[in-house]
Amino acid sequence: MLIVLLSLQFPSIANAQEDPQPVVQLRGVVQEPTAASNLSLRKLEELALQNNPTLSQAASATRSARGLAKQAGMMPNPVVGYQGEEFAFRTLHAKPEYFGFFEQTLPLGGKLAKSRSIYLNQANQSEIEAQAQRQRVINTVRVLFYQTLGAQQQVELRTELARIAHDATKTTSDLFNVGQADKPDYLESEIEAEQVEHELQSAKNNLKQTWKLLASVVGVPEMAVVHLQGKLDDRIPAINEEQLLADLMRTSPQIRSAEAQLAKARAVIVRAKAEPVPDMYVRGGIGYSSEFLENSRGEPLGKTGVEANMQVGVSLPLWNRNQGGIAAAQADLAFAESDLIRLRLALRVQFAQAMKSYSNAVDAVRRYRDVILPRADEAYQLYLAKYKQMAASYPQMLISQRTMFQVRQQYINSLVDLQQSSTALEGYLLTGGLDSPSLSPGGSVQRVEMTGVRSGSQGADQHALDTAGLVEY
């Protein structure tokens, strides 16, 4: 095994004292040469805003709500028709009357304006939900971008590990063929190479699957895998917890939508109380009568000729004063008020969870960047110097080198965690880039399931992928 370990740094036993070079850079992940087809985060966001179907759904829901608001304020259509009376079967033309009439219902009590107010509040809520859906799509694209970027860098890192393992296997095979290595050493090197190759394949599968999720959210599922342009450690976002929480409670789309729902519930009560106000029914007609008129002495005066009639009426709210409708509207208002309180509490819980993830990720990134990574490199250099002086065994030096790879992998995961948690905090905790908008056309509420977003530390080495923010929570 000592010979196998030596082979990871030196091409042969003869040049064992040459200086091996670190296999990773301390301040950056190994990058493939950039391709002309590189995609940046901004470009992916633009593609998502153009192609994600949920955004057109949200726009359709808004247009539907505006249409309902317009319709709710329309006057009832008038009724026009023909009326014939007093047809005598013995002499059909003796005294018939022919009328054309006009009938109109006049809603009183401001019912039309109050009905329109209900749907205007619903339209306002739909517009807020459309803005929220846009933020959901952007957040989900960002979460998946950083997850995919982390998976891409994991593949690059493990590709380097696989190269070293295969070089070790070849060197050990050469040494075994000339009798300088035992067969167990050769078998161990093959086992190590196969394990590293399996980890590389798992990383490639993870990258492929994550890319499919990203392409689906962008709305171009057939998009081929390309190299992503960007660095996970470009920025460490500084978040003011108190200010961010205050903004979330005051301006977040979730709160604004709940407030619009509350305003709608109040408008429904106003309309329900106006329902008992009677509507006025107006009807008038003009026509011709063939009946003969007589004066008070019974003398004929000729046919009646042109005549008119007029009717005016109102409904009397004696028994039905919309008592049940008013009670239901008051219950809905109480529900909306409680739901706003519930939402504020739920957002505080989600905010606390996101802040915990963010704080842990910031701490991990800073420790890896400022302490763990430099010390891992320093330990490797010290073991290398001691080995040259024959004061340390080569396995110790190799272990320190492998530690650098492991630390680098954990650093990538921490960066992914940081970018995902900061995206959630800065994006009002909105996820669900492929969920239907909360308000569908007509105003019905769409229920969604609660699903967490897989973090970077969970993602790199797992075989199964969840929806990574595709479902709202």
Integer Cα distance of 114 and 268 in angstroms: 8
For residue 270, being part of any structural domain is answered with: yes
For residue 18, being part of any structural domain is answered with: no
| Spatial strand order in the sheet of 79-85 | 79-85, 97-106, 280-294, 300-314
For residues 32 and 69, which has the higher predicted lDDT (pLDDT)?
Answer: 69
Kindly state the tokens that stand for 171.
């060197």
Q: Which is nearest to 351 in space by CA: 240, 245, 236?
A: 245
Number of domains forming the structure of the chain: 1
For residue 166, being part of any structural domain is answered with: yes
Confidence at 6, pLDDT banded by 50, 70, 90: very low
For residue 25, being part of any structural domain is answered with: no
Check residue 404 and give its pLDDT.
82
For residue 467, being part of any structural domain is answered with: no
Check residue 186 and give its pLDDT.
73
| 230 C-beta neighbours (distance < 10 Å), count | 18
Integer Cα distance of 433 and 53 in angstroms: 10
Integer Cα distance of 63 and 85 in angstroms: 48
Q: Quick one: average pLDDT of 436-440?
A: 73
- Give this prediction's pTM: 0.78
For residue 181, being part of any structural domain is answered with: yes
Q: Quick one: average pLDDT of 250-279?
A: 95
Q: Determine which helix (DSSP H) or strand (DSSP E) holds 10, and give its type and residue range.
A: none
CA 100 from chain center: how many Å? 59
Q: Is the pLDDT of residue 21 over 60?
A: no
For residue 20, being part of any structural domain is answered with: no
Check residue 444 and give its pLDDT.
45
Integer Cα distance of 433 and 202 in angstroms: 26
Q: Where are the alpha helices (DSSP H) in 178-229?
A: 183-218
Q: Which is nearest to 228 in space by CA: 141, 138, 358?
A: 141
Integer Cα distance of 256 and 23 in angstroms: 52
Assign residue 355 the CATH number of its domain: 1.20.1600.10
DSSP code of 82? Answer: E
Check residue 460 and give its pLDDT.
39
For residue 435, being part of any structural domain is answered with: yes
Query: What's the pLDDT tens digit per position in 411-434?
Result: 999 999 999 999 999 999 999 999
| C-beta of residue 151 within 8 angstroms of C-beta of residue 203 | yes
Check residue 386 and give its pLDDT.
78
DSSP code of 91? Answer: S
Per the structure, the complete domain to which residue 307 belongs is given by 2-12+37-292+301-459
| C-beta of residue 79 within 8 angstroms of C-beta of residue 102 | yes
The pLDDT > 90 percentage for the chain reads 58
- Report the largest interatomic distance among the alpha carbons of the chain, rounded to a whole angstrom: 149
